[in-house]
């Protein structure tokens, strides 16, 4: 262990109270005393014990993130990592800890209740909201400040969230493919039980409707976003009697699989067929594709993590300010091997 406040105080011939006040920036401390205390703390490498502090103040100075892992499949959404990294930066700077709970998705409610009752965090961040998400109403009841990364269409009462404009991104991506003359456009989407995936489909359907095209169910796929899924979807779509000439992939990793299926079939991307990808993170975007390449980005997931953490901390500091929300617009980045792009 390190030095305690008491030890530091007795070493200086002061009371723990004064030392505490000096360290925490209370105004009523003598300048000279404060300086002495600060110096002593530094040389003694003093760090306050977090647990004692939070027991005394009633604040834990920690934020909880609950990562639901499905019991059925082993994949963790890779954007989590970047998002968490962004949020973590903000917490560190603000002197907050980040507590991660990995919870099987059939025990989520319990996990939330526990974490609140144990008082180990001052706020919570909800990941991967579904269409109807009980977690949100649960947290509203529990009264702990929380933010949602994404939205839940089924929840009517207001809550705090940050989301990217998925619907708009996908409408614009579809419009782009329509402009290129495509009429049979496949949507290789994520799991449509997730709110974001439904919004993406809605955007896709919006654009088709405006163009007067009746959506074809065969052209719409939905599953967990993995490379093998993209590959299989691509193969199956190409086997259709009237195969699509363009593909809209819901994530870069899905596009990789799709690309494999298309090139395996001897198709040349950008000549025989167009692929457009959506991903939140530029860092996954391959450059120099010969495909028209679309990336809807909120200038990286990392930044979204930062912004969400900022908002949550503000909520923790002032819980009475009411729900706060932020909708991030996406950029369109269309590129090919010549480096063209448009926004």
The answer to whether the CB of 120 falls within 8 A of the CB of 64 is yes
Residue 125 site contact among its own copies, DNA, none (CB < 5 to 8 Å, cut-off depends on kind)? none
Q: Closest separation between CB of residue 343 and its own copies, Å?
A: 20
Does 146 interact with its own copies (rule: CB under 8 A)? no
Q: Build a one-symbol-per-residue string for 7-46: x at contacts with its own copies by CB under 8 A, - elsewhere.
A: --------------------------------------xx
| 83: nearest Cα among 146, 132, 128 | 128
Q: Which residues contact 98 (CB under 8 A, 6 or more apart)?
A: 62, 63, 64, 65, 84, 87, 88, 91
Q: Which of 5, 29, 84, 313 binds its own copies (CB under 8 A)?
A: 84
Considering only residues 96 to 135 of the shown chain, the ones binding its own copies according to CB under 8 A are: 97-104, 113-114, 116-120
Assess 60 for contact with its own copies (CB under 8 A).
yes
How close are the terminal C-alpha atoms of the chain, in Å? Answer: 55
Toward DNA, which CB reaches closer, 6 or 132? Answer: 6
Q: Does the footprint of DNA cover residue 120 (CB under 7 A)?
A: no
State the alpha helices, DSSP H only, in the chain: 5-12, 16-23, 31-43, 50-57, 79-94, 108-117, 134-142, 166-179, 195-210, 227-238, 252-264, 301-317
Mask for 57-96, x = binds DNA (CB under 7 A): xx--------------------------------------
- How far apart are alpha carbons 334 and 330 in whole angstroms? 12
Q: Supply angle C-alpha 79, 82, 88, rounded to 5.
A: 135
Encoded tokens for 177: 């493919």
Find the shortest distance in angstroms from Cβ 51 to DNA.
7
Q: What is the DSSP string of 269-310?
A: BTTTBEEEE--S-GGGPPSS-SS-B--EESS-HHHHHHHHHH
Q: Which does residue 28 touch among DNA, its own copies, none (CB within 5 to 8 A, set by kind)?
A: DNA
Residue 18 is a binding residue for DNA (CB under 7 A): yes
How many Cβ atoms are within 10 Å of 26's Cβ, its own excluded?
12
DSSP β-bridge partners for residue 66 = 101, 126
- Enumerate binding residues for DNA (CB under 7 A): 1, 4-6, 13-18, 20-21, 23-24, 27-30, 33, 48-49, 52-53, 55-58
What are the residues binding its own copies (CB under 8 A)? 1-2, 45-52, 54-55, 60, 62, 67, 69, 74-78, 80-82, 84-85, 87-89, 91-92, 97-104, 113-114, 116-120, 226-228, 231, 252, 256-257, 259-260, 263-264, 283-290, 300, 302
């Amino acid at each position: 262990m390190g030095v305690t406040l008491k030890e530091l105080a007795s070493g200086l011939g002061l009371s723990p109270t004064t030392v505490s006040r000096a360290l925490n920036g209370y105004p009523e401390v003598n300048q000279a005393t404060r300086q002495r205390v600060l110096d002593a703390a530094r040389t003694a490498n003093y760090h306050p014990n977090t647990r004692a502090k939070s027991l005394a103040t009633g604040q834990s100075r920690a934020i909880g993130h609950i990562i639901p892992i499905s019991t059925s499949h082993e994949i963790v959404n890779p954007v989590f990592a970047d998002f968490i990294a962004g949020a973590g930066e903000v917490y560190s700077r603000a002197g907050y800890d980040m507590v991660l709970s990995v919870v099987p998705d059939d025990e989520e409610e319990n996990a939330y209740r526990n974490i609140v009752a144990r008082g180990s965090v001052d706020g919570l961040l909800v990941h991967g909201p579904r269409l109807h998400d009980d977690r949100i109403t649960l947290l509203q009841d529990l009264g702990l400040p929380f933010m949602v990364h994404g939205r839940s269409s089924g929840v009517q009462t207001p809550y705090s969230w940050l989301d990217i404009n998925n619907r708009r991104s996908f409408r614009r991506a579809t419009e782009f493919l329509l402009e290129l003359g495509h009429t049979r456009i496949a949507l290789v989407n994520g799991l449509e039980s997730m709110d974001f995936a439904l919004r993406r489909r809605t955007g896709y359907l919006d654009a088709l409707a405006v163009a007067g095209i009746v959506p074809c169910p065969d052209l719409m796929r939905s599953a967990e976003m993995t490379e093998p899924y993209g590959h299989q979807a691509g193969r199956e779509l190409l086997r259709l009697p009237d195969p699509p000439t363009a593909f809209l992939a819901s994530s870069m990793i899905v596009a990789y699989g799709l690309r494999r299926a298309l090139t395996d079939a001897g198709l040349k991307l950008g000549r025989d067929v167009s692929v457009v990808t959506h991903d939140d993170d530029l860092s996954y975007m391959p450059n120099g594709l010969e495909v028209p390449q679309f990336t809807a980005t909120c200038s990286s997931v990392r930044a979204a993590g930062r912004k969400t953490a900022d908002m949550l901390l503000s909520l923790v500091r002032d819980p009475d300010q009411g729900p706060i929300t932020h909708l991030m617009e996406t950029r369109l980045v269309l590129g090919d091997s010549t480096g063209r792009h448009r926004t």
